Amino acid sequence: GLAYNMCNNGAYCGIAELAEMLRGLFPEKGLRVARLGRAADDAYSEDRTADIRRVDCSRLRGLGWRPRVGLREGFERTVRSFLEGR
């Protein structure tokens, strides 16, 4: 058994950006995003962001797998499936 990284190297976003995206996807939920302390953009250096983007999914791509769903659509599908109880 080998381990495979499931990722889309072109779909990175930070936690604050993800929270804002989810708030926008589901306005009917009345979600609010609160930022305490330093701005989220200051929390991680550019070096850390670069490290996160280097997740290696070449083994999975070698099997022919390619991402077909973007970040926004993927999170929307995931949340809707939980809300619908699937």
User: Side chain identity at 53, as an amino acid letter?
Assistant: R
User: Of the segments 5-19, 27-41, 64-78, which one has the largest average pLDDT value?
Assistant: 64-78
Q: Which residues contact 56 (CB under 8 A, 6 or more apart)?
A: 5
Question: Which tens digit of pLDDT belongs to each residue from 24-67?
Answer: 999 999 999 998 876 545 555 555 555 556 788 889 899 999 98
What are the two backbone dihedrals, phi and then psi, of residue 29, each rounded to the nearest 5 degrees?
-85, -10
pTM above 0.85, yes or no: no
